[in-house]
Amino acid sequence: MLVVLKIGGSVISNKNEPYSLRADYLRKLGPILREFVRKGNSLVVIHGGGSFGHPKVKEILEKGSDLRREGWDVVNLMLEMSLRVARELGENFVVHSSSSIWCSSGPFVRPILDSLRLGWIPILQGNVVYPGRVLSGDEIAVALARELRADYLLFATDVDGVYDEWPQGKPLKYVKACEVSAKESDSIDVTGGMKKKLEEINKLPPTICARIFNGLVPENVEKALYGEDVGTLVCPC
């Protein structure tokens, strides 16, 4: 079984407090992910910008600069975030730079496959890529799920799934990506929140669906990894 898991920045950091990593959460999550791989499965983890990437990009744009000039600062910050995430998750996790594997045609997957062959767990991150644009972890997750022919594509985020109406509605069990009108995130966010996730999921081939669920509860991540019904199953239209 090969699973691509995008862990939202809203899960591993507090998006309302700059540069805040949820270390305790990651220490609980590490053994769950490791055990999944120990059982003979393959796992690729992508994390979002959370309270690191999003405020940094906003700061650069608000002072009138742009990511062609100052994107390097975001790249290095996101790699620092990934290294901290990897350290808290523990053994076997290895950081790959999304900026280094992303080509104009999509991801160059060879280095990721090599890590998987060694039984390691690659970590990538939403980041700035050439020629100076923000590449969301959501886009990376969808592209990798397609390229690696993943069995499951999972999005752990800070809400119980896709709501029929945000915020006053309720989470849906199943939805087609083009049949619900999602909005952006309520926190500082430069990539488009749930709306962006659904747009990206809609680019999947018809054979792959994605699951969006509340990853703040580590047990939910475990359930989703083993194919249990948590959150919302989202299929392309």
Ligand X SMILES: Nc1ncnc2c1ncn2[C@@H]1O[C@H](COP(=O)(O)OP(=O)(O)OP(=O)(O)O)[C@@H](O)[C@H]1O
Binding site for ligand X (CB under 6 A): 8-11, 48-50, 137, 157-159, 162-163, 166, 182-183, 185-186, 189, 191, 193-194
Choose between 33 and 77: whose C-beta lies nearer to ligand IP8: 77
Nearest-CB residue for ligand IP8: 126
Interface with ligand IP8 in residues 171-210 (CB under 6 A): 190-191
Structure tokens at 96: 């790959």
Structure tokens at 158: 């800070």
Choose between 78 and 159: whose C-beta lies nearer to ligand IP8: 78
Q: How far is the CB of 35 from ligand IP8 (least distance, A)?
A: 25
Q: How far is the CB of 119 from ligand IP8 (least distance, A)?
A: 26
Contact between 127 and ligand IP8 per CB under 6 A: yes
Where in the chain does DSSP place strands (E)? Answer: 2-7, 42-47, 93-95, 102-103, 106-107, 121-125, 127-129, 133-135, 152-157, 174-176, 210-214, 232-235
Interface with ligand IP8 in residues 24-63 (CB under 6 A): 48-49, 53-54, 57
Altogether, the residues listed in the chain come to a count of: 237
Contacts of residue 9, defined as CB under 8 A and 6 or more positions apart, other chains included, come to 15, 47, 48, 49, 50, 51, 52, 53, 54, 126, 137
> For ligand IP8, which residue of 30, 107, 126, 236 counts as binding (CB under 6 A)?
126
**Rounded-to-integer distance, Cα 154 and Cα 32, Å:** 15
